[in-house]
Structure 1
């Protein structure tokens, strides 16, 4: 992996580090640490095709007394989803005053059929997938692009289809919207997030 990036979370105590190769699509291995809703470590491995459409994502999340995993693979006939679970995340969430998480994965992978991208909750890396696939980082201001993603909630690893909208605001600026949420992202020339208001900021290399 010839490159790496590091973000500090601004919404909670936490950080993300990813090592990656983006010469022919994206191959990446990353680790996310966060304190909310319960302290957890999340590790992922991501692979896309040369067109930056996701072909595979493996995620493992763990905390005190629990661990979960999910694997998403996109084939010609749709997405395949496999999950694993040990311990009791719901007990940890209840102890912290949060509602139960539900089971990891999805009971109906066909609901993900329209998704070309995945989105791992709390990770600014995954915004790069549609930005690169749609060529939004370097282009002029453009019409909004509406798409469906396979959204992996963290730390539950529940997978749901989500509608998201990306709009180029000109070079190095991309607007992201989902439901009532909107954020204007600062990105570098390669489409990687530099600043995600309310979520994360990238650390400059020394």
Structure 2
């Protein structure tokens, strides 16, 4: 998916920064999708409980997914648990990263380990919350530059886990994100969370 290079901020007006904890909610633009997350943040440490509900598209069946995420004070992912539900049943996966940089991935049959090319971020399918976490960690909200980072990519709803890369290019017009989900320009708030993910979601 390729988005226009102009972002229209369709989010509700908000002249103040977020106060924490906060509920952040995104609605789909071209697809039936809703994501809502309760974000608790102290400095740059983040704990999130979120849910995604998505209708059927050419890329996936209808599903709902819930997640629990923990980042450390540097914005590095430490733990993530996701449960995904479709008509045929549900599945789950737990990811954790230790101090040596080794990831443990457990789909319920015992953990498997991988370095995932040094990744310290996770990209989750259609999630607007996860799309902006590297933007926050790298300080790209006001620092206009390009960064390419390895990520642990989790697809929805099947919860396949594999290595990938994301490239973020920050400019006065927004942050262009090239991710496993496609290419889009994001407008972000001063805390680094997406306001408008052009052609994909907008915050409500």
In the superposition, the TM-score normalised over structure 2's length comes to 0.82
1:138 to partner: Cα distance? 2.1
Find the aligned partners of 1:134 and 1:125 in 2 and give their Cα distance.
15
Q: Any stretches of 5+ residues in structure 1 without a counterpart?
A: 86-104
Find the aligned partners of 1:135 and 1:18 in 2 and give their Cα distance.
21
Does 1 or 2 have the higher relative contact order (CA < 8 Å, sep 6+)?
2
1:178 to partner: Cα distance? 3.4
* Higher helix proportion (structure 1 or 2): 1
Structure 2 counterpart of 1:54, from 56, 70, 77: 77
Q: Any stretches of 5+ residues in structure 2 without a counterpart?
A: 1-19
Q: 1:79–1:113: 8 Å Cα contact kept in structure 2?
A: no
Find the aligned partners of 1:184 and 1:39 in 2 and give their Cα distance.
26
Find the aligned partners of 2:181 and 2:196 in 1 and give their Cα distance.
20
SS of aligned partner of 1:119: strand
Structure 1 residue 70 corresponds to structure 2 residue 93: yes
Between Structure 1 and Structure 2, how many residues are aligned? Answer: 180
1:197 to partner: Cα distance? 1.4
- RMSD across aligned C-alpha pairs, in angstroms? 2.1
Residue 93 of structure 1 aligns with which residue?
none
Find the aligned partners of 2:183 and 2:87 in 1 and give their Cα distance.
33
Moved more, 191-200 or 76-85: 76-85
Residue 100 of structure 1 aligns with which residue?
none
Aligned pairs for 1:153-172 within 5 A: 153-170=155-172
Residue 26 of structure 1 aligns with which residue?
46
Find the aligned partners of 1:189 and 1:124 in 2 and give their Cα distance.
16
In the superposition, the TM-score normalised over structure 1's length comes to 0.81
